[in-house]
Amino acid sequence: MKSKKKKRQDDFQKVKLKVGKTKPKANNATNTNFRSKGINITEQLKRDTSGPTTHRHLGINDLLSQLHHYSANIKHSALLGLKELLSLNPSLLEQHLSRLLSEVAAVFTDKDGNVRVAATRVLRFIAQSVPAERVAPFYPVLSAHLSCAMTHIEASIQEDAMKILDVLLEHYAALLAARPAVLITNFLELISHRQSSGGANKTQDAKGWTWALSVNPSRAVTSQQWRLSVLLRLGRFLQAVVEERPVEESDIFIPTEGAFGPSGEGKLTPLYLNWEELTYSKVGVKVYEHSGAKPTPQSTFRLRAEVNHGPTVGEDLDSAEAVQSFAATMVPLLLEVWVEASTSDCPWNTTEGAHLLSPDAMSVMFQVLSILQMLRKLAPRREHQEALDAWFYKEYLRDFKQHFMKNFPYGSRDTPKHRKKVDLKRSKQTAAVPGLTVEPLALNITLCQVMVSLSQRQGLGRETDGDWLTPLRTFVRDTLGSGVKLSYRQLHMLLGTVWKMVFTQRSTTVTEDLLAAVYVYYKQRHLTLQTRSLLLSFYSKLYLQEQGNTHIARSKVLCRWLASLPVQLSQLGQRNPALSARLILSIQAAASRKHKDLLNSLQTRACMLYDPQEGVMVLLPVESQQRMVQLLYFLPKMSPSLLANLSHCCTAGRISAGLTASLIRIVHFRSSLSGWSVGSQEAALQDVDYISFLFSTLTGFSSDKLASLQEAGDALPPSPLSPLSLYPTPLEQFTHHWDVVEEVCHCLETLGSKSQCFDILQNGICKYLTKLAVVPDSMAAGLLRAVSRLLDLSVLPIEPMLRFLSQCCLSLLALLITLEQEVPAETNHKREAIWGACVSALGSVPRLLRMVLQSMRVGDLSGEERPQLGQILSLLLQHTPIQNQLLANAALLQEIIQQLTRYSRGATREQWLTDLLYCYTVSVAHGSSARRGNLGLRDIY
């Protein structure tokens, strides 16, 4: 026994350590005396040099491949890298757009929420950078993945799908609206479920399925908030479908840019074709893009579908049957949502405060009404919309009155706010719903529009409609008349409701009541241009419907509004040209229909509107000026003061020459001297006033302006060669006045008796112009032009006028020589006009050439003026049409040339004298035989 115990102790014998001795190594010690070599794989260490990379040196191919990784963190970092890479290198979007969209869309249904959020951000960045035209070829891929996300079994994926849908609705709404079938079914399945059979209050589609609201307790938000989120997106989607359709012309009040509707672009006028008649016809039919099924705004017709399939919920909304089928499925669900929201905050067994709603309930109910509005607008054409309204009236009016009108009008419930800790879960639920806060006013206005759209015209249920329309009419009247501030959309909806009530009730009392409320709102100050234009458009369109509607034609409010338009226009002026243009459009529409109150108001304000200095006629843009000129045709009377203002407008150059000609023609047609009238329209002005208007316009300057020119020192000084002191008119003003002179002469020539017109013109010149010492060159040329066109040989010009015209002619000829020394391009038109006026007068007015030659006193000329006189004579001698007149005055002409030759004797003959002698020899000396034979011509000229 002792030996065994000793052995055992030997096996576990303790090692004794001694100071200064090396510690023995353990039996299991590792031997570290070895060397190792590193293994480097060079392919893995190479950087991607094929294109741009992120800060982690990853290219786009690497990032896209990482989206297939099983790790959510790697996919999330890959999406962050994609956004970084695309932000720094936008060109990669064009190169890899197909792969980017397909790979990013594939992670819409990823299990990890961070990956889905990052994918949504990348999609938003792509949508902000790439237009819809480039994405259209790849949209089916996006649509497929979006549908998978919307119908996914996971509630969190469905919620993130709503955010993806927000991005697509914001940037690619047209692509979504082009294929609405699948998305509509997805929307229905998000808030309801289908079952094979159901109760009486369940809706049934064409295939026999019934739909009922669904509840998912596992969602992070309440059922009401989830339905609000879905309905909000559904409303936006239906709005996109409506906006992508062409707008048809109609007499229904529609907000437009102009006061009377759009200009025609974007409207659809269907043309129905009979293919049996066209089969053997030689005339071809032009088919536009999309085969005419979805015409562009420039297309003029639309082709109907050959086969009309049975309507289902999921088919496209291109037919009235499909829209009605979708509405039959959607409306009962919306009513259930309404009932659920309206009773969610109401205590049991009590009706007190039932009209007060919480913010969530109000938002849900507002979305229900908004979708009902969109359902009405989905009808392809206007007659389909009327049929759809009638169907709504027949099927759902009782339900709408029971649920919508029960507690109308609605208000907001005051909820006390208590200080408490922030509930992260509750804040997350609130953030999940992107709907904006809805005010009770917006909810009530939308409800009014939905309910009034169901009202029928007189003779079809009017007795029953009056009961439930009364509270709606009272609310509309009180809202407009109370002065509450409305947004543009709210005001437009209210005006559309008023429009519908006026034409369905067809009562003078109802019409006056509603229009008076609108007029109260119209008279408010500080309304925006958009709001004021909308009100003008409403009143203008309503006035155009007065024919056949006695309750509108007899409206005193409408008459009062029309009478106030000229006053508003005169007060507004140029402070807001756009609004002034809309006022003029409204005035023109009423004036063309000879509205008595408006014409009287326009007559009273005419002098202010057509003031040549501060009137809207000269301050507004060209388009408005043209309409102001057209308004002159409808004025009952044109007073002398108004004609004076119009004459100043014509001569001041504030309006174009074309508008000036139109103005003169309109005044001409409204006078009795024109011999032109329409119906029972009387002459608007006296003959004396009309002649005075033409003469004032012909001179081009008012009496005050001519008087100021006599004292100013801007005119050219008179000289023996230029008897009159000419005021140099600027080239632009001269050109404008020359066009005015031509139009005035045309009007004078059409008056009938040419001799009487010439006699009136002659008396006017002698009475007002012969005493002037300073004469504008444009007026002198215009008078010569008018005299030559109106001259009648049966009336001989009197001596004072001949003397004045000869002075004008000689002064203009001297000016012409001066202008020839300037740059030809700048004064070419002016020189041609002056020369044409002078030679035309010299060739047609008897004794005018003789008086001009008699005024050429060579002895009084200076050394610089003699060459100018020689050049004038050379020009006259070279002009063939006045050769006979020159021959008749050959003796006087010969005497002038001899005096010039006597005063110009020198060692060498100057060039101008040589040219003059040559022209005289060719023109006069060889025509002595003709001169001796035309003694009668010598007596006349």
Distance (Å) of CA 139 to CA 102, 144, 272: 10, 9, 33
Q: Which residue has the tokens 């008279």?
A: 523
Q: Is 679 helix (H, G, I), strand (E, B) or coil?
A: coil
- 884-919 pLDDT per residue, tens: 888 888 888 888 888 888 877 665 567 888 888 888
- pLDDT at residue 108, as a whole number: 92
- 3-state secondary structure labels for all residues of 750-762: CCCCHHHHHHHHH
Q: How confident is the model at residue 606 (pLDDT cuts 50, 70, 90)?
A: very high
DSSP annotation of 247 reads B
Q: Is 356 helix (H, G, I), strand (E, B) or coil?
A: strand
State which amino acid sits at residue 570: S
Q: How confident is the model at residue 144 (pLDDT cuts 50, 70, 90)?
A: very high
Of residues 907 and 241, more confidence is placed in 241
- pLDDT at residue 320, as a whole number: 80
CA–CA dist 425, 406 (Å, integer): 35
- Token pair for residue 170? 């914001």
Q: How confident is the model at residue 678 (pLDDT cuts 50, 70, 90)?
A: low
pTM listed for this prediction: 0.72
- pLDDT at residue 286, as a whole number: 53
- 289-308 pLDDT per residue, tens: 444 444 444 444 444 444 44
- Token pair for residue 790? 């109106």
Question: Which whole number is the average pLDDT over 105-134?
Answer: 92
Nearest residue to 743 (alpha-carbon basis) of 645, 835, 665: 665
- pLDDT at residue 413, as a whole number: 77
Among 238-242, 687-691, 936-940, which stretch is predicted with the lowest mean pLDDT? 936-940
Checking if the pLDDT of 198 tops 80, the result is no
Distance (Å) of CA 14 to CA 11, 21, 28, 435, 659: 9, 16, 17, 82, 127
- 3-state secondary structure labels for all residues of 657-671: HHHHHHHHHHHHHCE
- pLDDT at residue 465, as a whole number: 59
Q: How confident is the model at residue 739 (pLDDT cuts 50, 70, 90)?
A: very high
* Highest mean pLDDT, choosing among 159-168, 459-468, 703-712, 883-892: 159-168
Question: Which whole number is the average pLDDT over 302-317?
Answer: 45
Q: Look at strands 725-727 and 411-412 and give their pairing.
A: unpaired
Checking if the pLDDT of 823 tops 80, the result is no
Among 149-163, 646-660, 787-801, 900-914, which stretch is predicted with the lowest mean pLDDT? 900-914
Q: Name residues whose C-beta falls within 8 Å of residue 669's C-beta, 6 or more positions apart in sequence.
A: 633, 676
Question: Which whole number is the average pLDDT over 810-831?
Answer: 79
Residue 387 region by backbone torsions, left for phi larger than 0, else alpha for psi between -120 and 50, else beta: alpha
Among 465-469, 500-504, 506-510, 591-595, which stretch is predicted with the lowest mean pLDDT? 465-469
Q: How confident is the model at residue 517 (pLDDT cuts 50, 70, 90)?
A: very high
Q: What angle do CA 629, 630, 634 make, to 5 degrees?
A: 115
CA–CA dist 658, 414 (Å, integer): 65
- pLDDT at residue 896, as a whole number: 86
The beta strands (E) that lie in 773-929 are given as 774-776
- Token pair for residue 226? 């989830």
Checking if the pLDDT of 206 tops 80, the result is no
CA–CA dist 659, 638 (Å, integer): 18
Among 311-320, 356-365, 658-667, 813-822, which stretch is predicted with the lowest mean pLDDT? 311-320
CA–CA dist 478, 552 (Å, integer): 21
Q: Name residues whose C-beta falls within 8 Å of residue 243's C-beta, 6 or more positions apart in sequence.
A: 173, 177
* Highest mean pLDDT, choosing among 373-382, 632-641, 668-677: 632-641
- Helices and strands (DSSP H and E) totals, the chain: 46, 7
- pLDDT at residue 397, as a whole number: 87
What mean pLDDT, rounded, does the chain reach?
80
Of residues 6 and 68, more confidence is placed in 68
Angle, helices 640-652/687-699, rounded to nearest 10 degrees: 20
- pLDDT at residue 314, as a whole number: 42
CA–CA dist 142, 287 (Å, integer): 31
Largest Cα–Cα separation, the chain: 186
- pLDDT at residue 881, as a whole number: 84
Checking if the pLDDT of 804 tops 80, the result is yes
Distance (Å) of CA 816 to CA 8, 576, 717, 719: 147, 45, 15, 15
- pLDDT at residue 573, as a whole number: 83
Angle, helices 359-377/382-403, rounded to nearest 10 degrees: 150
Question: Which whole number is the average pLDDT over 44-68?
Answer: 78
Are residues 471 and 408 in contact, defined by beta-carbon separation less than 8 angstroms? yes
Q: How confident is the model at residue 181 (pLDDT cuts 50, 70, 90)?
A: confident
